[in-house]
């Protein structure tokens, strides 16, 4: 089954799939994607694709900077 919304997996993992002619005719402004983790197929609009890209970029930036705000090892407790 093809969904109109993506799954809850990481957006950076989505793979674009070639659409059949009937999909291009019925949904001209959407692209077909598959999640390799859960194998969900879904059609995403141009706005959805941009959102997926922004979320993937944010996740990569967060993983580079560390998962916690105190990842530099400094003690942020108040003096006293």
> What's the pLDDT tens digit per position in 27-78?
898 888 888 888 888 888 867 776 776 677 777 777 777 654 444 554 555 5
Q: Compute, in degrees rounded to 10, the torsion defined by CA atoms 42, 18, 37, 1.
A: 40
pTM for the whole thing? 0.57
Q: Kindly give the residue spans of alpha helices, DSSP state H, lying in the chain.
A: 21-26, 46-65
């Amino acid at each position: 089954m093809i969904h109109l919304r993506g799954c809850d997996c990481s957006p950076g993992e989505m793979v674009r799939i070639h659409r059949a002619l009937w999909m291009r005719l019925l949904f001209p402004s959407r692209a077909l994607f598959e999640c390799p983790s859960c194998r969900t197929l879904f059609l995403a609009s141009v706005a959805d694709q941009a959102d997926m890209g922004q979320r993937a970029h944010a996740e990569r930036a967060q993983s580079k900077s560390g998962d916690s705000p105190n990842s530099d090892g400094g003690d942020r407790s108040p003096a006293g």
